[in-house]
Structure 1
């Protein structure tokens, strides 16, 4: 069994080499993103090893078979050469995903899944952004290239034995037995141990703090775990139908006592305008507008990426799954958002996004949501203003937007999504040096978009529709580069500015302490306009006494109610904090407030079940 033993040894040397490379990529992940992560503890290291063994085992089962299946054919030089090249290529592809997430994690706050890397509507962005990413993060690409070369050079080669004896039935039996034992061991490593269920993405939280799950996990594991998912939501059954409705019911009935106002509605969604950029000298116009508006100082995003924000803001559908609603298997569900509701009231409806048509699937969403018209880069008319990567610069696209609004019959409902404060944060050459650089890379482009917003309002004020318009402004999500410690908590990562501005209503001003989220915008607009309607909404009106916020990230649900914040994962509460007093979330109050924890847990379970039931059963409309 001399050659067979050599093949066994060869496989395990190659296998352990991959494990070592995964460890190196994890340490690099930590080194590059240390400001976003907690401490690298022994538990983190052990948990990381468990997930690495799982991913590497799944990926290399085919190579185990190719190395150890009994038969003399394996000792052919051509066979061994093909086996080495295949082993190198496939494993390098998965290693590359770890390196990509070293940077991409900054923007999403989670490891990439299969759905994220195959999301539709991103082709143009990828082609435009890859060169800028390589230019900006060249050192990651360089390290990967060096690692790839070293990987190929140090992969152990098979040392062929010239003597091959004819195998007997006994030889085959021994080899098949050993092969079966090793395969069984690899399958156990692949499932993460002998426990009842294989390890899952959410199990990363067992080995580290909530902020460190991205460090425990590896991207090949999260991709493999989501590769064969047909649905984006799991079946949940915490309560029967009667109990569920008594705890939480997403049906909202608005019955105003006054006639509808028929005001125009303009919803402006600002790319990456998280709280970390507000009131720091980068946004003088928005800061000024806040003083004239009804401002929610405790505003929250319902997701971490742009594609989550649109259905949250315009259809009151939060992002409570690993895949964004727009790119999920439920993207064609019937929805009854602002476009359809306001169209019934006689409104003209439109959606504007200065990026390539098809970007983020917004054009598809616009159709499903019921918008009359979609305006992307292809529909833009005006001076040549392509930023070379992403789409039309905000200044010119906002001016184009103002002129289009003036052409619409009133009342109209329209929404625009800005783009210039998206990575790579390109601003027009004529403005380089005009705006303050700030303390993070994004803030110069934030200042440029704020300037573009100021020019838009300056133009809009001259239009006859201006005084009959409600303006709603919200960020889509926070940026990846908050420079304060509080910006990096799982509260800070979701805090955004949200404001309502009506130039004809001086009473709609002030500072609200209410916990307010993107999914609250839709019912709040309809309530403000005195529109009688019944709808499915997972948010609440600004006039409601409810004071909750719910968001989700990487298998973990986050629930805020009044001053308390609950973290829920794996069907259990793992954290409970007074987020207003304990801004850095250092003091877990689970054992001190069991009654409050139980009450909060009851609500979040009902909320999850209601969302999952309605999305999977296509019941987002009445």
Structure 2
């Protein structure tokens, strides 16, 4: 039994060593991203420790069994070496995900999930982008290599074992009980305690401010949780069907007596063009276009990554779950988005994305959404313009886009997603030092894409279809801003959205209405006087409703007029007057209980409608 105690002690020492490595990665996460986070408190430390114990317990359950399984065979040098190497490699792999998110967090605003790292097309992006990440953030790679070496050297070995005693049945019984107790304890740690439900991603908000939830969590935990439960929607029943419809229904009836206006429609989705980049000298063309457009200064993204933006903008379906809709099993649900609706009105439809075909699963989404044609890097025809990483530079691809539009039968509906303001922010060599560097690394490439956009409109103006076209421009998500307001859970989602119709001088002005990506589809249909009855989780720009809903790491964010409510763990965790309290410092949830209850009622109805319709494949009528 002496050897068995040594094996138990060995596993315990190795387990604690991995916990310390997780804590170290959390400290580095904070030091690198402290401008985007709130203060690292003792409560944050305790919460982080809980989630670390959970993740490490899940990952190392098999190794507990390998350490404690009864039998003399496990004391051989060969067996011990195999277990040690496997223990090292498996844990190092998960520790690596923490280090990757130290940098990736500033682009996504959340910990990575299983769906994010396994989405179709992501493997190609990794090949192109990992070298640039290593070049830019080399110091993280150096720290990780040093830590990897130290980890191997610090993993304790099993020493002083003896093979003299032959095990009898009584020994096997004792050690089996010992193993069962160990497995039980580790499973309790893995579920986060003895509470009714295992801890979830959303529980991170219990240990600090909403902003610090990613600091409390660890990436192995979010990957494991979203792997175990890949589609993390649950049916909810806050209200019966009659009451639910009274509070909120996503069924929108667009009625008009006017003749449909068969204008062409172009939707331009600009990579990372968050509000933090607008009006600061990097986007002179877009700033100018805003003055000639119907501009929503309180525009919001419905997600933090590109694959959230496409279904939100083109199908009015947000990603209100930890996995993006487009990479979940729900991505094959029937949807009745702009391509299908406009196709019935006689439109030809197409989707353009300058990256390699398969990038972010956009080509597959285009098929499901009903686009007639998809144009990626493989379909590009024009001057050599490969950026060396993952696609065609925006200037040339937008010119290719313009030429293809001129070949389409009108009316046409087409959407293009830019790529050059995506990490590694590569711009053509001929433009180096031509654009202002700005205050963040992305802003030079933002300025380049703005220039490419100017060139596109200069070419488009010469085409016959130009004056008969409605242009809609939206960012896909924000980038990493340098102002305090950019790091709040309001600022993380604020983007420019505008409608521009060169033939309509009345479609102009700066508007205060809260407007989100999922509002774009019903607004386009309403503007074109197209009669339709649709499932849309947004609303038309013509209605009085003033709400916005988005989701991040277990928390629902609901904005209505001047009020902002954060809702997680089935309760309100924050309520603010966001327009005057821009840094969200003054929590009013205990002072304005009536308004909080009213907001809670709406967000619950919204969640129930979304979850149940997505689960039941009821996104069409």
TM-score by length of 2: 0.99
User: How far apart are the structure 2 equivalents of 1:12 and 1:426?
Assistant: 47
Residue 135 of structure 1 is matched in structure 2 by 135
Provide the residue aligned with 1:421 in structure 2: 421
Once residues 343 and 385 of structure 1 are traced to their aligned partners in structure 2, the CA distance between those partners, rounded to angstroms, is: 32
Q: Which residue of 2 aligns with 1:408?
A: 408
Aligned to 2:526: 527
1:323-382 Cα deviation digits (max 9, x unpaired) = 111111011111111111111111111111101011111111111111111111111110
> Aligned partners of 1:261 and 1:441: how far apart in 2?
42
Q: Which moved more, 1:191-200 or 1:425-434?
A: 191-200
1:192-591 pair list within 5 angstroms: 192-479=192-479, 481-591=480-590
Partner of 1:168: 168
Structure 1 residue 230 displacement after superposition:
4.8
Q: Distance in 2 between matches of 1:599 and 1:476?
A: 30
Give the C-alpha shift of residue 225 in structure 1: 1.3
Paired with 2:194 and 2:551, the residues of 1 have a C-alpha distance of 29
* Contact 2:3-2:162 at 8 Å conserved across structures: no
Count of matched residue positions in the alignment of Structure 1 and Structure 2: 621
Partners of 1:123 and 1:175 in 2: CA distance = 44
What residue number does 2:593 align with?
A: 594
Cα distance per residue 1:173-193 (max 9 Å; x no partner): 433333333332222211111
The 3-state SS of whatever aligns with 2:455 is helix
Work out the CA distance in 1 between the residues paired with 2:409 and 2:155: 68
Instruction: Tell me if the contact between 1:75 and 1:160 (Cα under 8 Å) persists in the aligned partners.
Output: no
CA distance in 1, matches of 2:212, 2:131: 30
CA distance in 2, matches of 1:263, 1:108: 35
Q: Give the CA deviation at 1:396.
A: 0.4
Partners of 2:588 and 2:250 in 1: CA distance: 29
Match in the other structure for 2:125: 125
Shift, 1:597, TM fit? 0.4
Tell me if the contact between 1:313 and 1:522 (Cα under 8 Å) persists in the aligned partners. Answer: yes
Moved more, 199-208 or 157-166: 157-166
Paired with 1:196 and 1:242, the residues of 2 have a C-alpha distance of 31
Matched-pair contact (CA < 8 Å) for 1:520–1:541: yes
Q: 1:144 deviation in Å?
A: 0.9
**Conserved? CA contact 2:231–2:323, under 8 Å:** no
CA positional deviation for 1:194: 1.5
CA RMSD of aligned residues (A): 1.1
Deviates more, 1:71-80 or 1:38-47: 71-80
Cα distance, 1:616 vs structure 2: 0.9
Alpha-carbon displacement from aligned partner over 1:480-524 (angstroms, at most 9, x marks no partner): x20100011000000000001111110000111100000111111
CA distance in 2, matches of 1:611, 1:542: 21
SS of the residue 1:330 aligns to: helix
Q: Which runs of 5+ in 1 are unaligned?
A: none
Query: Within 2, Cα distance between the matches of 1:105 and 1:200?
Result: 19
The answer (yes or no) to whether the contact 1:72–1:164 under 8 Å persists in 2 is no
In structure 2, how many angstroms separate the alpha carbons of the residues matched to 1:620 and 1:177? 52
- SS of the counterpart of 1:331? helix
Mapped contact 1:474–1:499 kept (Cα < 8 A): yes
Structure 1 residues 120-159: Cα deviation after superposition (integer angstroms, max 9, x where no partner): 1223211111111111111111111111111111111111
Kept in 2: contact 1:293–1:502 (CA 8 A): yes
Distance 1:503 1:118 in 2: 42
Contact preservation (8 Å) 2:114, 2:230: no
Deviations 1:256-291 (A, max 9, x none): 121111111111110000000000000000000000
Whether the 8 Å contact between 1:273 and 1:477 is mirrored in structure 2 is yes
SS at match of 2:498: strand
User: Residues 396-445 of structure 1, C-alpha deviation per residue, up to 9 Å, x if partnerless?
Assistant: 01111111111111111111110000000000000000000000000000
Q: Measure, in 2, the Cα distance between the counterparts of 1:164 and 1:18.
A: 33
Shift of 1:609: 0.5
Report deviation, 1:163.
4.9
Contact 1:232/1:328 (CA < 8 Å) preserved in 2?
A: no
What is the TM-score with the length of structure 1 in the denominator?
Answer: 0.98
Deviations 1:574-617 (A, max 9, x none): 11000001000000000111010000000000001101111111
Q: Is the 8 A contact 1:232 1:329 kept in 2?
A: no
1:169 offset after TM fit, Å? 3.6
Partner of 1:82: 82
> Per the alignment, in what secondary structure is the counterpart of residue 527 of structure 1?
helix
5+ residue gaps in structure 2?
none
C-alpha displacement of 1:168: 3.4
Counterpart CA distance in 2 for 1:178 and 1:532 is 69
